Amino acid sequence: ADKNTWAIAHRWDLPAMAVLDFEPTAEVLAQFGPEVARRLRALPLAMHKGLIAVALEDAGDREVIDQLNFVSHNRVVPIAASAQLIREGIGKLYDRTEDMAIAFTLGLDPSASVVDSSEREVERLAREQPVVTLVANLISSAVHRRASDIHVRPGEHGADILYRIDDEMVPVRRLIHALQPAVVSRIKVLANMNLAEHRKAQDGRTTFVLEDGRKVDLRISVLPAVFGESVVVRLLDSSEGLWNLEQLGLTPEDRQRLDDVMSRSHG
C-alpha cells in the first residue's frame, strides 16, 4: 500500500491491503452494483456472519460507509486500499464482466482485437439499447459527480474513461476493445457527426436531458488516435449556469442600484 493508504489506516486504526491476490465471489460482488462501486470507489471483498469487508480509497469517510451500509444487508468493515488497487479491482471484477455481457448481447466477440468499423455496423451499434444506456449512464454519472469533462482515451487493449473533477483527471472505468467503436459512435450520433469519418477531427454539440428533466449542454470533440478515436465531452449544466439575483449574494444597496439602472434602461 502507498503512504496515503497507510496514513488513513493508522489514523482510523483500520486494516490495510497492498494487493488484491484473490477474486471475491459473485455473491460478494452482487452486494454492490457496478455504479455504486464506481461512484463510491468501493470494492467488496468477503462476507462473514453479517459483516462485509470492503476496500475503500478513503476508508475513513463516514458518509461513504453509511451509503454502503444502506445498500447492503451486511455491516461494512472498511479496509484501506490505494486508489490504483480500487481502480484495477473494479476494472477487473465489474467493468470487464459488464462489458463482456454487453458485447455478447450485441453479437460481438469480446476478445476481438479487430472490430468492424464500417458505417453500417457502427450505426447499428450506436442505436442498440445497451450502448445507448451505457453512454447515458456515463453522462448522468459525470453530472452527478460534478465533472466538467468526460474523456475517452483509446489504448491497445481498450479505452479508459476519465472524468475531470475539480481539475483532476479521475479514472472511472475501462472499456474492452470490442465496445470502443460502439461507444464512440453513440457519442457521434448525439453530436450529429459523420459516423464514417475516422481520420479527421470532428466537433459537435447537443443537449442531453437527464432523468430528472434537467438539460445539460454537451460540447463534443473527436480526434483520430493510434488505437482508435479519442473523445472529449465538455458538460455545462444549464440549470447551474443561470443564477437569480438572490443567489448572486448582492447586498440590499447593490440590489437597489441594479434596480435603478434597470428602471432607467427601460424608461
What tens-digit pLDDT sequence spans the chain (267 residues)?
Answer: 688 999 999 999 999 999 999 999 989 999 998 889 988 999 999 999 999 999 999 999 999 999 999 999 899 999 999 988 998 899 888 988 889 999 999 999 998 878 887 888 989 999 999 999 999 999 998 998 899 999 999 998 899 999 999 999 988 898 999 999 999 999 999 999 999 899 999 999 999 999 889 999 999 999 999 999 999 999 987 665 444 555 455 566 766 776 676 666 555
What's the rounded Cα separation, in Å, for the pair 264 and 267? 5
- The 8 Å CB, 24+ separation contacts for 50-55 are 50/74, 50/75, 51/75, 51/76, 51/77, 52/28, 52/76, 52/77, 53/77, 53/79, 54/78, 54/79, 55/17, 55/20, 55/79, 55/80, 55/81, 55/85, 55/86, 55/89
Q: What pLDDT score does 239 carry? A: 60
What's the rounded Cα separation, in Å, for the pair 93 and 102? 15
Q: What pLDDT score does 235 carry? A: 96
Question: What is the three-class DSSP state of 145?
Answer: coil
Q: What pLDDT score does 88 carry? A: 87
Copy the grid coordinates of residue 264: 432607467
**Cβ within 8 Å of residue 153, ≥6 positions away:** 159, 160, 161, 162, 225, 230
| Neighbouring C-beta atoms of residue 141, cutoff 10 Å | 18
What's the rounded Cα separation, in Å, for the pair 38 and 22? 20
What's the rounded Cα separation, in Å, for the pair 54 and 45? 6
